[in-house]
A = this chain, B = another copy of it.
């Protein structure tokens, strides 16, 4: 086992050890270290072009000598730069995002997340869970730092003769009379996105409609066809409209790599606001208005 791989394992474990303390100062540093270690580990891989029919997008994959390839990486979003990440960390510390553009913030987060995904894709077999968990901590940390509050993942239910707790995705409670965020975090959703609407519906039902702002964050919806190495995006825009009309209302759906088929959903009525994740940093206050 090469030393970079050991170091990544160790950093990953230390990140997970933070549990729900996602505002912790040290967490940004651990993520920076992990990012750098992943870049070192991935430096030995070749890049191989992938084809795609998606207008305006191009993808590549990292490839091992034995021909195994990583998930698809968006060429215009992947700009590995620990400096750009550190600039974002600094901006969060001072809550001043003027020095950064929406695109720069999205790229900084995408590149960190993707460098870890690529490392796991090429060193393990069929491990979707580890990249998903790291992505949860990464986005959870950014959300927590922006809002200045740690999340919970379990809420009490007191409903007449029923007393239980409801396990949830991260929820961020800004306090009495303030908004609460419901933050499912996924590396991709495909046909499972209905779960997010359903969880939102349960929160609306148990605590009252509008108390939790549903703002899921998703990495991408890409899939690489094995035989042709073509990248497609698995999207269900018509179904999403039915879910938004009939199950619950999500406030925002943030993507690091926004799927082409979901972008127009903000332009037709009733709109579903699908946005690049960088926008969250600018609009966090506005969301609760």
Interface residues of A (CB under 8 A from B): 126, 157, 159, 162, 164, 166-167, 192, 194-195, 197-199, 201-202, 204-206, 238-239, 241-243, 245-247
Q: Are A246 and B157 closer than 8 Å at their CB atoms?
A: no
Contact A157 B192 (CB under 8 A): no
Instruction: Specify which of A197, A202, A205 lies most central, judged by the most chain B CB atoms within 10 Å of its CB.
Output: A202
Q: Cβ of B241 and Cβ of A205 under 8 Å apart?
A: no
Known: A157-B242, A164-B238, A166-B239. A201 touches B202 (CB 8 A): no
Asked if B162 and A201 sit within 8 Å, CB to CB, the answer is: no
User: What would be 22 A-B contacts, judged by CB atoms less than 8 Å apart?
Assistant: A126-B126, A157-B238, A159-B245, A166-B242, A194-B195, A194-B199, A194-B202, A195-B195, A195-B198, A197-B198, A198-B198, A198-B243, A198-B247, A201-B201, A201-B246, A201-B247, A204-B246, A205-B245, A205-B246, A206-B242, A206-B246, A247-B247
Q: From residue A120, how far is it (CB to closest CB) to chain B in Å?
A: 18
User: A159 contacts which chain B residues (CB < 8 A)?
Assistant: 245
Contact of A195 among B126, B192, B205 (CB under 8 A): B192
Q: What residues on B are CB-neighbors of A247 within 8 Å?
A: 198, 201-202, 205, 247
Contacts of A167 in B (CB 8 A): 239
Besides A197-B198, A206-B246, 15 other CB < 8 A contacts?
A126-B126, A157-B238, A164-B238, A166-B239, A167-B239, A194-B195, A194-B198, A194-B199, A195-B198, A198-B243, A201-B201, A201-B246, A205-B245, A205-B246, A206-B242
Indicate whether A243 sits within 8 Å of B195 (C-beta atoms), given known contacts A164-B238, A238-B164: no
